[in-house]
Amino acid sequence: MEIRKMGPIGAEISGADVKTIDDTTFGKIYQTWLDANVICVRDQSLSIQDYLAYSKRFGLLSPHPAKSTRHPECPEVTLLGINKFNADGSLNNDIYRRGGEGFHTDGSYEQIPYKATQLYALAIPSRGGDTFFSSAYAAYDQLPQRLKSKLEGRYGTFKYGGLKQLNALLDEKDRTAQPVRHPLVQVHPETGRKLLYFDQGKILSIEGLDPADSMATIEEMIGYFAQPPCQYRHQWRKGDIVIWDNRCSYHKAAADYPPEEDRIHWRVSIKSQ
């Protein structure tokens, strides 16, 4: 097995078959993931059961709330890139641009957020369709001390769809779920490093601030996300497995590939055991 760092964050692993690796090898993969925020294991050939078995080594699989895009036989798996055209032939942007609304962390709308998200690439377009990642550790470090002090000890409220109510992928009865609250400044439970927990598309408010100050502070935070530090851009290949740590990273899809071409992944959402 070979491990190659891709920069301040991101690592590429080659020469491993995730169907057969032993616990020692998996331990090296897991530690690389903690160190790098996001890793790619290249050149895999997996059945859906192989994929589920490997994913469960990271934690508890949690079905995504968007029931309409779940795999019909394996609800733990979300199908990304399937059925992106409407009945009239027009492009369904909720499917095509999914994940491309800006840097975010998955599961911020959950009472217990996702530990990790993992994708397995089944079909890759001829160009475009990359995924961008950035570090929540670096995001915290870049904030001015004034803003760090303001956010310390404060909670944000989060909801699927956020202020813009971008929740078309949810069943109608699930769109009224109550907001949840999470501390904006956190310490990673495994690395002990301080980070900024933020999701610009799902945050509603900052508790303890009046509405105007809350919105102004959120807008200031979003400003830092226009070009977040410590980025890694993943260029997909068929057979890639990519997993990122939602506790300490943000990501977004490029949403720029030719719509007539396929970009299809299996996705799982993982929580701590």
CA-CA distance, 115 to 231, in Å (whole number)?
20
Other Cβ atoms less than 10 A from the Cβ of 201: the count is: 21
pLDDT digits (tens, 9 = 90+) for 179-205: 899 999 999 999 999 999 999 889 999
| Comparison of pLDDT for 96 and 60, the residue scoring more | 60
Under DSSP, the state recorded for 272 is -
Q: What is the mean pLDDT of residues 165-186?
A: 73
**Can you list the positions of beta strands (E) in the chain?**
2-5, 11-14, 38-41, 60-61, 77-80, 116-123, 131-135, 155-158, 180-183, 185-187, 194-196, 203-206, 232-234, 241-245, 249-253, 264-271
Q: CA triplet 136, 211, 252: central angle to 5 degrees?
A: 30
* Degrees to nearest 5, angle at CA 268 with 124 and 200: 85
Q: What is the mean pLDDT of the chain?
A: 91
Residue whose pair of structure tokens reads 């979300």 in the numeric block:
78
Over residues 212-252, the pLDDT tens digits come to 999 999 999 988 876 777 889 999 999 999 999 999 999 99
Cross-strand bridge partners of residue 180: 158
Domain residues of the chain, as ranges?
2-271
- Cβ(24)–Cβ(229) under 8 Å? no
Q: Report DSSP letters for 215-266, one per residue.
A: HHHHHHHHHHTSS-SS-EEE---TT-EEEEETTTEEEEE---S-TTS--EEE
Beta bridge partners of 116: 245, 270
Q: Alpha-carbon distance 33 to 12, whole Å?
A: 10
Q: Which class does domain 2-271 fall in? A: alpha beta
d(CA 164, CA 154): 23
Ramachandran angles phi, psi of 270, nearest 5° = -120, 130
Q: Give residue 77's pLDDT band: very low, low, confident or very high (50, 70, 90).
A: very high
Q: What's the whole-model pTM score?
A: 0.92
- The pLDDT assigned to 165 comes to 64
CB 270 within 8 A of CB 125: no
